[in-house]
Amino acid sequence: MRATFFVLGWVAERYPSLVRRIASGGHEVASHGYAHELITSQTPHAFREDIRKAKNILEGILSQPVLGYRAPSFSITKDTMWATEVLVEEGYFYDSSIFPVLHDRYGVPSANPDVHQLLTESGVLWEVPPSTVKCLGVRVPVAGGWYFRLYPYVLLRTLLRKLEGEGASLVMYMHPWEFDPGQPRMEGSLLSRMRHYLNLDKTESRMCELLQDFSFAPIRHVFPQIEQMQSGRSVSAGVVGQELLSKNVSPAVLS
């Protein structure tokens, strides 16, 4: 399996060999920003400096363009939608930060849940939202992370199959720390501790099941329109074609 790894510039700066190892394994390296600062706490200038620094570091290590970005904690919201324009200006071609759900810290409930183009004043940016599924009129997150550990895997697989049946690709994500049940515990609210520590011991076995049940590939390979744009070819506006989305090949993304 191959995936997209959204890597922090701070980490890449200190462990460049890790970034090269990811790329040599056939995976895509994309940007997670430099210092994992929430966009909701940044000014446009600070955000620009952060994503520019991360991109320069990653591209300096890889000697190839970095096309994608994911915001820390999916912090592109209605109040920070200006960030999409900055991403275009700084040379990014796709974003995977706008979570079309209702959440206390992130999310844009009214956002398009399908892969689509965002038209900003500075140009076009592809948006690749984390997976959600509509149940009883409510859009439910199923993309990974806390949700991957919360739902019983049988239920999760059923919801993911439902998405596939609707012609959608699965955009899943995992964090490396979620595979370490022995990590140090930090203080916080009950909800915060549940989000971070619930079922950490089940992540690895569930991941193995997920990889047996579904096929995955890096975002830039599943959606070739992104690379075509990077190559300077014209890309028509609109949602990715149904013939592409209906394939049983889905981008796995690892933050």
Q: What is the domain-level CATH number for residue 245?
A: 3.20.20
Element (H, E) at 220: helix 219-222
Buried/exposed 186-204: b ≥16 CB within 10 Å, e otherwise: eeeeeeeeebbbebbeebe
Domains held by the chain: number: 1
Q: What radius of gyration do the chain's Cα atoms show?
A: 17
Helix, strand or coil for residue 32? coil
State the residue range of the domain holding 91.
4-254
- Write down the pTM of the prediction: 0.88
Tens place of pLDDT for every residue, the chain, 255 residues? 999 999 999 999 999 999 999 999 999 999 999 999 999 999 999 999 999 999 999 999 999 999 999 999 999 999 999 999 999 999 999 999 999 987 767 768 888 999 999 999 999 999 999 999 988 888 889 998 888 999 999 999 999 999 999 999 899 999 999 999 999 999 999 988 998 999 999 999 999 999 999 999 999 999 888 878 776 633 433 333 333 333 334 455 544
Opening angle at CA 58, ends 56 and 60, nearest 5: 65
